[in-house]
Structure 1
Amino acid sequence: MNTKTPAAPPVQKAAKAAEPRLPNPGSKKLFRTIEPYIWIAPSVILMAVFILAPILSVFQRSLNKVSRTGQLRGFNNFENFTKVLKSPTFTLVLKNTIVWTIAVVVISTVLGFILALILNNEFKGRKVARAIVVFPWATTLVIQASAWNFIINTDYGTLNTLLMKLHLISAPVNWTPDPAAYFAWEIACGIFVTIPFVCFCVLSGLQSIDVSYYEAATVDGAGYFQKLFSITLPLVKSSLTVSTVLNIIYVFNSFPIIWTMTKGDPASRTDTLVTYLYKLAFYNSKPGEAAAVSVIGFIILLMCASVYMIYTLRKGDGDL
């Protein structure tokens, strides 16, 4: 008796071969799990190579004795930090940095906010005015600082030339008689180049405010300043907060303006932490102490960023 199963006809074999294979549910679920990490992997790798690795290297150098050629000579028991903190120059530079950062950030924020309120109104030539405001921000800081140096020059500066032509002064004025005056001009330059950033941050927040809020306030008899403090400021507060935090970071780390105008001279009277550590590393051949100054600056900025993060998280919890 033949018990063999008859072979399937060729038509049935072709039909089975043509049937689509269903994907494995397990592999699909696994891909969905790891897919976000695949997309963010390039960014994480770039951050690790170009941000995290240099930060770790600076911390390592700050805790070691470093030769003039950059070779690590072993752990020196926080000697670099001790030398930096005991130096009277560091105290002066830290005070300059605080004055520089607070003055530029506060004044540019106030002026940028006022300018944003003006540019938010409808008037003829508003687009041209907005384009002009961008120029100081779009131009490199080295060019801006060089232009300001030319403006305030005693012998051939445009400021003296203009005032003499207007018969407001009879002879050229020395606008930088001492380091404090030069430092004030550097602060003025920093304010000038920072205003556009604040202005456009606030302007983006102003344009997102619904006009109906102001219409309702007008119906209730609210004046300009009541609308400003009750509607405008609360609704652009987030934009102001972001611009302020970013400005603190940018201004604190600003190098070109100080270096182009004075190089921190005379005797570090106009130095900030960034120019001071640059001198320590490349002029005085003290890379270990320069790394210690870098770490101190990093800690200061980390504290500022932490304050912002705590404020943001608390605000989010309150909204919930």
Structure 2
Amino acid sequence: MKVMSSCSTCSVCSPPLTTSLAQTSSMLDAAAEQMMVDKDFQAAFETCERGLEILASMDQEDNRCREFKAGFCILGIQAQAELNQWHGVLSWVLQQYEHLEEIPSKIMQMCILLYSKVGEPAAMQEAARVWLHCPSNGRATGFGTVAELYLLHVLVPLGHRDEALELIDGEVGSIAFTEDQRQTALDVVEEKERQDQEPPLNPSPNAEITPHTVSSQGAVIHKLRTMLRFFYRKLSLTRSGSFPLRRVFMAAVLLYMLFLRMDPALPSSFMWISKLLQLLKQMWSAMCAPYYQALTQSKEL
């Protein structure tokens, strides 16, 4: 739906659409409807391809053509992923853009996330490296996000420590990251190296968690605990009438950590979730106990 919104804005702010552009705009709307409403992913992909064929014969320097092209590619990637045809996504995108460096940052982000999700991050290594080292892309909106995703979803999972450090400390890192972000990225690389050097966990479902296993998550758990305690101190400064706000804020933190920053299906997440719930219970008791005690006393009276 975001694609449709951007296209509508484009048609309002830009000069009137030509017949061909009006046709592609309608096709883009149709592809979005087939994707999101009808769930007909094959039809959506075919509509995207027809739209891209029309755009190929038009002026590629026109900003509206570029926007429509990116919209068709984004929907086409989603359709191929839904059809389990993700193997050919990168090559399909490269067919639409004459040079790899010209691929929009949003499409690069989607490709990195897609190949990471299906367990094939290496497929994006060379493409992302070339894209990030193109001087003109350093000024593109979303450059920093592409660099972050490349680091976290390609280099770190593949264990390419040297290239990761070069990315962080090199020219790309100086453009993409702030000083704090560079330090955080270095911490992530060091944590990954530490985990790789430790023996694998016992796969037995009845195996107990040993102190050594706990220590392997030590640095990450410490950061998580520090962050949550920081949130708690901020909330504790709030006076009367703020109890609903506290509950909403803590619920938001819980949802963010559980669903956006970790995958509960991964064994490595069990320790995270266990520690997180313990901390939340402690903070919940500290924040809510006075409220419930006062409520109980008032009922007894």
TM-score, normalised via structure 2 length: 0.25
Q: Which has the higher contact order (CA 8 A, sep 6+)?
A: 1
Considering only CA atoms, is the larger Rg found in Structure 1 or Structure 2? Answer: 1
Is the helix fraction higher in 1 or 2? 2
TM-score, normalised via structure 1 length: 0.24
